[in-house]
Amino acid sequence: MSLESLFPLYPAAVVIPIFSVSAILLEIPPFIWHVRNRNFAAICMICWFFAIQLTYVINPIIWPRDNTFEWYDGKGLCDLEIRVLLGANVGIPGCITCIVLRLAAILNTQSKNFSKTRVNPRNRKVMEFFLCIGFPIFYIIIYYLVQSDRYDIFAITGCDWQVDRSWPSVVLILIWPLVITTFNAYLACLILIRMYKYRRNFATIMTSASTTKSRFNRLLCISILLIFAVLPLAVASLVYIATQEFHGFSWNDVHYVNWGPRMIPTNGQLAHWDSIIAIISGYILFLAFGLGNDALDMYKQWGRKLGLARIFPSLNATGSSKNTSAMTSAASRARLVTSGMMESKASKEADTPTSPHSTAHRSYRLSSIAFGKDKTPRSSTDHQDSEV
């Protein structure tokens, strides 16, 4: 009997790389679009997904069967991959935090600093760098303290990281994805409440923030979907380790002499569902950002550069939507200023002592929202620096 019949090629080892490659290709247009708009958090989030999906392109090809005695031991490759997968555990939730914080700030119309959301972009950039890159790197470094095995290798999914069954593993590693994702869920709920509260002025608020309802809704939807995807995994990981028998932490026991990889057959089953979630997330990112008007204009621009406009004349029709958008934005700003002037005038004519202050403050808020605190029109670079 041949080895091929004893250790068959599992279908998942063929399907997962194909869909992972397709997810990577579909994420390229949204990635380019976010690079052009300088959306750092969204760029980092897509990069984390790129890294995970690339892992699941490589691993099923290397370990497609249960013939563990012939397996590559993964040295070098798995050392890198487990750190990428580990960093993504907090990197992706951190990117979502940056996105939903920005969305919540846009709808925070009661804040005195609402008109100053872009006054100090340096602090926002520092926070985004820390949550998207800095904290994942620190997370990877401290993982070594509780790293019980060099890595495990499962059939199909390949390399996986392991932690010691002790309380430092919970405090240092396992709890943080749950903490960050729970905070993201709170922010998402807060955004939905504010959307309902300001539903009548929603379009005006979007215009004042140099964005559109479509972009805002797409970012919110992708954030909520990813929260629902990450939160159960974070809970399941914590519950699983909590149900295991704990022991006291010992450095010598954790980092023992035979600290080598373990090779584990799976009988064609997936050791975990991270690969499936990463693939689905890639398709969702494309549906959210790869089919919008901005993305379609980008595709048309690529077609013109390739000379396809001679065959498809419709590729030249891209200016109308931009002109319409500019006219709509100008009209909205004009309505804001007119409304602010009318309310200011009404406040001066009021008889009650408290009414002028209240109405004047609202008038100042509306005019400052439309043009910034100095009441000068926003530049085009402000639109590019916007998170959404």
- In the numeric block, which tokens belong to residue 356? 């002028």
152: closest CA among 262, 260, 250? 262
Residue 143 has pLDDT above 90, yes or no: yes
Q: What is the structure's pLDDT at 60? A: 94
Q: What is the structure's pLDDT at 317? A: 67
% of the chain surpassing 90 pLDDT = 33
Strand partners, 335: none
Q: Between 141 and 39, where is the model more confident?
A: 141
Question: What average pLDDT does this structure show over 73-81?
Answer: 93
Q: What is the structure's pLDDT at 1? A: 53
Question: Which DSSP symbol is given to 155?
Answer: T
Q: Quickly state the pLDDT bin for 2 (edges 50, 70, 90).
A: low
Q: What is the structure's pLDDT at 318? A: 57
Q: Between 366 and 272, where is the model more confident?
A: 272
Residue 126 has pLDDT above 70, yes or no: yes
Q: Between 85 and 231, where is the model more confident?
A: 85
Q: Between 33 and 374, where is the model more confident?
A: 33
Q: What is the structure's pLDDT at 388? A: 58
Question: What average pLDDT does this structure show over 181-187?
Answer: 93
Question: What average pLDDT does this structure show over 339-344?
Answer: 46
Residue 37 has pLDDT above 50, yes or no: yes
Question: What average pLDDT does this structure show over 222-232?
Answer: 87
Distance, in Å, from the CA atom of 215 to the CA atom of 287, rounded to the nearest integer, reads 12
Q: Between 357 and 145, where is the model more confident?
A: 145
∠ CA 255-261-266 to the nearest 5 degrees? 135
- Reduced to 3 states (helix: H, G, I; strand: E, B; else coil), residue 163 is strand
∠ CA 52-56-57 to the nearest 5 degrees? 115
Distance, in Å, from the CA atom of 16 to the CA atom of 279, rounded to the nearest integer, reads 8
Q: What is the structure's pLDDT at 348? A: 44
Q: DSSP strand E in the chain: where? A: 152-154, 158-160, 262-264
Q: Quickly state the pLDDT bin for 333 (edges 50, 70, 90).
A: very low
- Reduced to 3 states (helix: H, G, I; strand: E, B; else coil), residue 160 is strand
Q: What is the structure's pLDDT at 152? A: 92
42: closest CA among 141, 131, 155? 131
150: closest CA among 141, 163, 165? 163
For strands 262-264 and 152-154, give the pairing.
parallel
Q: Between 79 and 7, where is the model more confident?
A: 79
Distance, in Å, from the CA atom of 215 to the CA atom of 384, rounded to the nearest integer, reads 13
Q: Quickly state the pLDDT bin for 257 (edges 50, 70, 90).
A: low
Q: What is the structure's pLDDT at 209? A: 74
Distance, in Å, from the CA atom of 141 to the CA atom of 134, rounded to the nearest integer, reads 11
Summarised one tens digit per residue, pLDDT across range 356-388 is 443 333 333 333 333 333 434 444 444 434 445
Question: What average pLDDT does this structure show over 334-348?
Answer: 45
* Structural domains of the chain, with CATH: 3-315 (1.20.1070.10)
Distances (CA, A) of 70 to 73, 74, 263, 276: 9, 12, 11, 26
Q: What is the structure's pLDDT at 320? A: 40
Q: Is the pTM value of this prediction over 0.85?
A: no
Question: What average pLDDT does this structure show over 203-215?
Answer: 78
- Concatenated DSSP letters of 211-248: --HHHHHHHHHHHHHHHHHHHHHHHHHHHHHHHSPP--
Residue 73 has pLDDT above 80, yes or no: yes
Q: What is the structure's pLDDT at 117? A: 45
* Residues 109, 200 contacting (CB under 8 angstroms): no
Q: Quickly state the pLDDT bin for 158 (edges 50, 70, 90).
A: very high
* Average pLDDT value for the chain: 77
Residue 287 has pLDDT above 50, yes or no: yes
Q: What is the structure's pLDDT at 77? A: 94
Q: Between 91 and 110, where is the model more confident?
A: 91
Strand partners, 264: 154
* Residues 82, 187 contacting (CB under 8 angstroms): no
Q: Quickly state the pLDDT bin for 154 (edges 50, 70, 90).
A: very high
Sign of the CA dihedral 178, 180, 183, 187? negative
- Sheet-wide strand order for 158-160: 158-160, 152-154, 262-264
Distances (CA, A) of 161 to 147, 150, 165, 209, 372: 8, 8, 13, 42, 49
For strands 152-154 and 158-160, give the pairing.
antiparallel
Q: Between 295 and 193, where is the model more confident?
A: 193
Question: What average pLDDT does this structure show over 278-291?
Answer: 85
Sign of the CA dihedral 107, 112, 113, 116? positive
